[in-house]
Amino acid sequence: MAPIKALNTEELLFEEKTLYQPPLEELREVIQSTLAKNFENVSVEVTACPDLKSAEYGLMDSGLGGSPMLLEVGGPPYLLPLVQRDKLYNVKEICQKSMNGGKILAVGAGAGPHPLRSSNCEGIYNMSISSDGQLKNGSYTAKVSGLEESCVLESIPDTEPRCALLLNLFVCRGEPGSVIKITCKKRTGHLNFIECIRQGLLQKYGEKCVGMGGIFKINQGKAYQHVMRDFSKTPINNEKELNQWLKFFEMPATLNALGVLITHENDLDLRLQHFHSFSTSNWGGHYHYDTTPETVEYEAYFNVAERIVRVDKPLETHKFGRD
C-alpha cells in the first residue's frame, strides 16, 4: 500500500475569527468564583509564567505569550462513523501559515499520526518551531497495545510534523509574560476541571466568544482518560458505540494535560474543550475527569487567545465524539 502523504496545506480552507479578550485580572475573578462552586480549596492569580521548559512541565518553550491564538484542524466527522485515512495534516506548516512564520510554540490535543505507529493513536502535541523553520518535538502518542490492551506512551520524533483527522492547539510565540495560574484541591461538584472553567466563562461573557489554552497538571489523585483503539472496521454512529470502542483507563498523577477551551462554536463547528495528557510513567490520553475528588490537586497555567483559526472544517458534521 502506498504511503499516505499529508494534505497540501495551501489547498486547505483556513477561516479566522477574532475572539473577545477580557483582561487577565477580570478572568481571574470569573475563574475564581466559578471554581469555588466546584472545589473546596481554590487559588487563582495573575502571575508571571514559570519556565514551562523545566522538567516539571515539559513544554518545548518557556511561556504562553506572544500573539496567542487557538487552532482547530479537521474534526470528529473525519473519524466517525468511519475513518477518513487521507485526513493527514502537516501541523508545522499549518502553524507557520496561521502565525505568518516566526518562532512558534504549539501545544494541545489531537489524533496522532497513524502512519508513524501503524495504528490509530492519541496525539499529545508539544512542538516548537524556530524562526528558520526547525521543528523540535516534545509530542507523544498514546495507543492501545497488545492482547492485554495496555496504554503505551511514545515520543514523536522531530522528523514527524503530522497529525491525523482532528486537532486542537494553543499556539503562541512561547514568550514569557503574565498568565492565569490556578491551583485547586478537593472537588466538591460534578463538573470536571475544564468544564467548570468553561461554563463560568460562558455565563459571564454570554455571546462574546472567549478562548483559552495552555497546560494543567494533576499533581495528586487519578483521572479517567481514554485512548482510542485502532480504527473501527464497522461504523460508529452514536455515543454508546463510541464508548464501547474507546479504551478507558484510570491514570495516576502526575499527568500534564495540554489543550484548549472556548465558550462557543462561533459558527465554525468547533470542539469546545479538548485536553490530552502525558506523564513520565507511560500513561497518556484524553482527559475526562478526575476519579479521586477527595485528594485531587490541579495546577494550571492558561493564557487568553486573540483569535481562532479553523482549518479544513468538515462539510458534513455531527455532534458526537466531542466529550
CB-count exposure of residue 318 (10 Å: 0-12, 13-18, 19+): middle
By C-alpha distance, which of 166, 197, 178, 173 is closest to 276? 166
CB-count exposure of residue 32 (10 Å: 0-12, 13-18, 19+): middle
* Euclidean distance between CA atoms 107 and 213, whole angstroms: 8
* Euclidean distance between CA atoms 155 and 126, whole angstroms: 10
Digit-coded pLDDT (tens) for 1-53: 556 899 999 999 999 999 999 999 999 999 999 999 999 999 999 999 999 99
Q: Which pLDDT does position 2 carry in this prediction?
A: 58
Element (H, E) at 260: strand 255-262
Per-residue pLDDT 10s for the chain (323 aa) are: 556 899 999 999 999 999 999 999 999 999 999 999 999 999 999 999 999 999 999 999 999 999 999 999 999 999 999 999 999 999 999 999 999 999 999 999 999 999 999 999 999 999 999 999 999 999 999 999 999 999 999 999 999 999 999 999 999 999 999 999 999 999 999 999 999 999 999 999 999 999 999 999 999 999 999 999 999 999 999 999 999 999 999 999 999 999 999 999 999 999 999 999 999 999 999 999 999 999 999 999 999 999 999 999 999 888 767 77
Q: What's the whole-model pTM score? A: 0.97
